[in-house]
A and B are shown apart, each in its own frame.
Chain A
Amino acid sequence: DGGITQSPKYLFRKEGQNVTLSCEQNLNHDAMYWYRQDPGQGLRLIYYSQIVNDFQKGDIAEGYSVSREKKESFPLTVTSAQKNPTAFYLCASSIRWGRDYRETQYFGPGTRLLVL
């Protein structure tokens, strides 16, 4: 079955620690996205990637980093510079980045990050 997987489901971070959230898709999608969801707020875009070896900052990129070495994978690192990392993180993908407004984003199951 095609889809998006995220791991782990729950992740705990200690003060000053970097942690990496995994996102893998087997949908052959070019575009991938990372969102952060906080209680009472809409999803906010952290980073997005239109194609392999290319990515751009979203609206709240500070304290985060990404890589896109393979089409299937778009890991997100939450660095120690992110002072308020506790949130629900969602990865998504879409067929391509383009002007076709009909394209839908497909979401993974999410990772809940908690700070110890």
Chain B
Amino acid sequence: KNEVEQSPQNLTAQEGEFITINCSYSVGISALHWLQQHPGGGIVSLFMLSSGKKKHGRLIATINIQEKHSSLHITASHPRDSAVYICAVRLQGGSEKLVFGKGTKLTVNP
């Protein structure tokens, strides 16, 4: 079993829909990252969370440390949001190493 599990694996939505992508992990962590990978391959960091909730524009990320679960929400989705969204966790103990989920491929149709 992977230490970081994402669901769903693939997600197709219509423009304007509210999107939720989930990430569950089975290890102790010091932080969780949400990353966005566009079709060209480059990766951009969206959020780093250690507790609570963060918001940036139409993106919202939440984390529940007790339940070892995080969600990434996209409000009023747009075709330009189409990308692979990756959850990654930094393990407890001061390690710089990240453990990555397999990603969720989001397609938003106009």
Spell out A's residues near B (CB within 8 Å): 31, 40-45, 48, 50, 58, 88, 90, 92, 94, 97-99, 101-110, 112
With most chain A CB atoms within 10 A of its CB, the pick from B4, B33, B99 is B99
Contact of B110 with A by CB under 8 A: no
Chain B residue contacts of A41, Cβ below 8 A? 102
On whether the beta carbons of A90 and B43 are closer than 8 Å, the reply is: yes
Expressed in whole angstroms, the minimum distance between the Cβ of A116 and any Cβ of chain B is 21
On whether the beta carbons of B45 and A104 are closer than 8 Å, the reply is: yes
On whether the beta carbons of A42 and B96 are closer than 8 Å, the reply is: no
On whether the beta carbons of A107 and B103 are closer than 8 Å, the reply is: no
A-B contact pairs, 12 of them (CB 8 A): A43-B98, A45-B98, A90-B43, A94-B96, A98-B94, A103-B96, A105-B33, A105-B45, A105-B98, A110-B41, A110-B43, A112-B41
Question: What CA separation (Å) do A97 and B97 show in the bound complex?
Answer: 9
Question: What CA separation (Å) do A65 and B59 show in the bound complex?
Answer: 38
Expressed in whole angstroms, the minimum distance between the Cβ of A103 and any Cβ of chain B is 8
For chain B, the count of residues having a C-beta within 8 Å of the partner chain is: 26
A101 in contact with B97 given A109-B42, A110-B42 (CB within 8 Å) = no
On whether the beta carbons of A42 and B101 are closer than 8 Å, the reply is: yes
Question: What CA separation (Å) do A44 and B45 show in the bound complex?
Answer: 17
Q: Name 11 extra pairs, CB < 8 A, besides A45-B97, A104-B45.
A: A41-B102, A42-B99, A42-B102, A43-B98, A44-B100, A45-B98, A97-B96, A99-B94, A104-B48, A107-B43, A109-B41
On whether the beta carbons of A88 and B41 are closer than 8 Å, the reply is: yes
Question: What CA separation (Å) do A103 and B96 show in the bound complex?
Answer: 9
CB within 8 Å of A: which B11-59 residues: 30-31, 33, 35, 40-45, 48, 50
Question: What CA separation (Å) do A41 and B2 show in the bound complex?
Answer: 10
Expressed in whole angstroms, the minimum distance between the Cβ of B34 and any Cβ of chain A is 11
On whether the beta carbons of A106 and B45 are closer than 8 Å, the reply is: yes
On whether the beta carbons of A102 and B41 are closer than 8 Å, the reply is: no
Expressed in whole angstroms, the minimum distance between the Cβ of A40 and any Cβ of chain B is 6
Chain B residue contacts of A108, Cβ below 8 A? 42
A107 in contact with B42 given A42-B4, A101-B90, A102-B31 (CB within 8 Å) = yes
